[in-house]
Amino acid sequence: MASHIVGYPRMGPKRELKFALESFWDKKSSAEDLKKVAADLRSSIWKQMSGAGIKYIPSNTFSYYDQVLDTTSMLGAVPPRYNWTGGEIGYDTYFSMARGNASVPAMEMTKWFDTNYHFIVPELGPDVKFSYASHKAVDEFKEAKALGVDTVPVLIGPVSYLLLSKPAKGVEKTFSLLSLLPKIIPIYKEVISELKAAGASWIQFDEPTLVLDLDSQQLQAFTAAYADLESTLSGLNVLIETYFADLTPEAYKTLIGLKGVTAYGLDLVRGTQTSDLVKKDFPKGKYLFAGVVDGRNIWANDLASSLSTLQALEAVVGKDKLVVSTSCSLLHTAVDLVNETKLDDEIKSWLAFAAQKVVEVNALAKALAGQKDEAFFSSNAAAQASRKSSPRVTNAAVQKAADALKGSDHRRATNVSARLDAQQKKLNLPILPTTTIGSFPQTVELRRVRREFKANKISEDDYVKAIEEEIKKVVNLQEELDIDVLVHGEPEASILQRNDMVEYFGEQLSGFAFTVNGWVQSYGSRCVKPPIIYGDVSRPKAMTVFWSSTAQSMTKRPMKGMLTGPVTILNWSFVRNDQPRFETCYQIALAIKDEVEDLEKAGINVIQIDEAALREGLPLRKSEHAFYLKWAVHSFRITNCGVKDTTQIHTHMCYSNFNDIIHSIIDMDADVITIENSRSDEKLLSVFREGVKYGAGIGPGVYDIHSPRIPSTEEIADRINKMLAVLETNILWVNPDCGLKTRKYEEVKPALNNMVAAAKQLRTKLASAK
């Protein structure tokens, strides 16, 4: 029985690629140095999978940024602003598209389906001149072959690529991206032909958009694309891989009817109904790559249950046509549990990271072939039983409190307009008030202090003193820049990465466990270390009150208390899979509610409860949206339903498409929302142009912090003017897109200075116009 891995983490067990990329971007190392690190990582991954007995090993799943940008490069679909003149796309053009450069901004970045991974959105139009401009897929296949490893090259399928794209600036929004199919298929044919010539026997097309709600025209595009590719694919075994959800009956019918296709990869973890479609109708002689090992969570597979599922499918598709696989790429999990030296043995026995999932896949394949490793299965069964019965998983008081939430919608007593009036009397802010989102640059020295404190190398007093000094520096800088509502910069979370506050809060909540090296790629070189929610959640003591009060004592200006919201903590963690997600979310909401009320008692008048990942958790199927949004929005409201009218509640949301959930955002009933806007060509503003009325404060980001580029005062003022065209002056806030931790002070200071200058410039203009 054969085994298959959809994809594998790229960063390396110790984030080797991250550090190589950042060294290259900082001009501290050469392109050759970067290439060597990448080649060593690929070699290690391929040999690991080969050594574990995996038959179908993927290649071309390694990326310096993301696989969609790699496909954009393959197709030569470079926006004109990057001045690419043809030929093989090099690092300068590739990374300029991803990160921007001194002259032009980066392309838009958004979430990869409902994950915390991101991709660079292709910008396409009728005038794009496609050409074969990156031979990466072929080069990496040859590289593996030279190492003695026969791989399955993986490409983003042509239809999914177009469906994940957007019309370029200046192109009509009604432009049919699928009309470009005849223009990109010839490039795919060139790549396929080269792979065949290089000796490939299998090829994998990832077509994850097949799990979305597609209309008949979109489904027909799949049929047309693979009919066109059929002759070129002749002689190859072709796998179409789908993941993250069930297929609709219509999409499944389209999939199994595609010309020239040998095998179908299905997610049987999140696609809980898909196996029913297989049992009703599976084409004779085709392969089923059954994704039974979860590629998106870190819990050990229930091998006995998975084996039972596989045996039922084997009876339908045939013994020699069933391949055991992961549900999706293992990119979304941590790399190797072996690197975790601080997790206790009980919790560790419940887990499986990418390396362990490879072993699970092969163990299931062997068991299906009659070579069951009884000791391995027995150990797995014992771990499953331990997790179900462990007293550390269940807290009766927490469950009772969460159950009591039912029956109330937990809204604040006064409407937002009246609250804003009360808050303005207390805060006395100017029009177009300026603020930042939370974090400030995390220096090497700051990370050292945090690391040494965690390692017990410095005392708690020394640690607190160092953090207080950093807070004072950040407060002074904001006062010098004349920012209106301040933040303390989150230095207490400085050792961490993008979801640092999620881990910071998780460390202080019961029911959470933490890894040392459980890093997962979020985008580019950015990695996150998601906490593991293994049990019922509660707050033993106050978490941020000391730091927020300390910061407020340093200034007369309003200081924001900074919290992460329950939905974001949920979506940026590895969540227990033994109860519904909404139950866990309600437990977290109650813990955050306690913290909000303690901050208010401590004199913090502005409290930001970030829900950066609320949109990210939206199910891929529209039929499931309403239920998710109901409990997600309710969870947010629970956190702040008890505060006074004069306490201003902010929230923040990161990169995502918000237009389709704007009414749910309004229903959150926050006083102020800050939201990504700058990298998406002000896409968010179109909602307000279309007549949606928003009465709360809103701060669509005025510049992109994920790029090192420093925007001018004029550029920021122009963005604010676009906002003022559709939003009332008295509700508009001026702020960056996101937190500043990933940037350097030499980038942050001039950017914020220009931001404040733009706000003041427009205040003067608005005052003179009265």
Is 179 annotated as contributing to ligand binding?
no
Instruction: Dig out the tokens for 190 from the structure.
Output: 């060139």
Phi, psi (5° rounding) for residue 131? -155, 155
Is 346 annotated as contributing to ligand binding?
no
Q: Which residues, at least 6 apart from 58, have a Cβ–Cβ distance to it below 8 Å?
A: 5, 6, 7, 8, 151, 152, 153, 154, 204
129 contacts 76 by C-beta, under 8 angstroms:
yes
Is 526 annotated as contributing to ligand binding?
yes
Is 112 annotated as contributing to ligand binding?
no
Q: How far apart are CA 373 and CA 360, in angstroms?
A: 11
Matching residue, tokens 């004349």: 482
DSSP-derived letter for residue 573 is: S
619 contacts 114 by C-beta, under 8 angstroms:
yes
Is 610 annotated as contributing to ligand binding?
yes
Is 438 annotated as contributing to ligand binding?
yes
Is 667 annotated as contributing to ligand binding?
yes
Which residue type, as a one-letter code, is found at position 101? Answer: N
Nearest Cα residue to 550 out of 506, 498, 492: 492
Matching residue, tokens 């702040």: 640
Active site residue 625: no
How many CA atoms within 13 Å lie on the side-chain side of 128?
32
Q: Which residues, at least 6 apart from 709, have a Cβ–Cβ distance to it below 8 Å?
A: 100, 101, 102, 104, 105, 106
DSSP-derived letter for residue 492 is: G
Q: Between 625-640 and 581-601, two packed helices, what is the crossing angle to 10 degrees?
A: 20
| Strand pairing class (532-538; 237-241) | unpaired
Which residue type, as a one-letter code, is found at position 174? Answer: T
Cα angle at 55 between 135 and 41, to 5 degrees?
Answer: 50
3-state SS record for 3-27? EECCCCCCCCCCCHHHHHHHHHHCC
673 contacts 661 by C-beta, under 8 angstroms:
no
Nearest Cα residue to 332 out of 113, 109, 511: 113
Is 634 annotated as contributing to ligand binding?
no
| Strand pairing class (510-513; 672-675) | unpaired
Q: What is the rounded radius of gyration, in angstroms, for the C-alpha atoms of the chain? A: 26
3-state SS record for 621-668? CHHHHHHHHHHHHHHHHHHHCCCCCCCEEEEEECCCCCHHHHHHHHHC
Nearest Cα residue to 282 out of 266, 296, 271, 294: 266
The stretches of 301-415 forming alpha helices (DSSP H) are 303-317, 345-349, 354-368, 374-389, 396-403
C-alpha distance from residue 520 to each of 219, 398, 515, 524 (Å) = 33, 30, 11, 11
Is 676 annotated as contributing to ligand binding?
yes
115-150: burial string, b at 16+ Cβ within 10 Å, e else: bbbbbbbbbbbeebebbbbbbbbbebbbbbbeeebb
Q: How far apart are CA 99 and CA 524, in angstroms?
A: 9
The per-residue DSSP string of 49-72 comes to HHHTT-SBEEES---SS-HHHHHH
Is 654 annotated as contributing to ligand binding?
yes
DSSP SS3 for 84: coil
DSSP SS3 for 4: strand
Q: Which of the residues 4, 488, 650, 706 is marked catalytic?
A: 706
Phi, psi (5° rounding) for residue 335? -80, -55
Is 527 annotated as contributing to ligand binding?
yes
Is 18 annotated as contributing to ligand binding?
yes
Instruction: Dig out the tokens for 400 from the structure.
Output: 């009772």
C-alpha distance from residue 311 to each of 300, 307, 365, 368 (Å) = 20, 6, 11, 7
Give me the active site residues, please: 706
* Known binding-site positions: 18, 116, 437-439, 490, 526-527, 572, 610, 652, 654, 663, 667, 676, 738
* Known binding-site positions for L-methionine: 437-439, 490, 610
* Known binding-site positions for 5-methyltetrahydropteroyltri-L-glutamate: 18, 116, 526-527, 572
* Known binding-site positions for L-homocysteine: 610
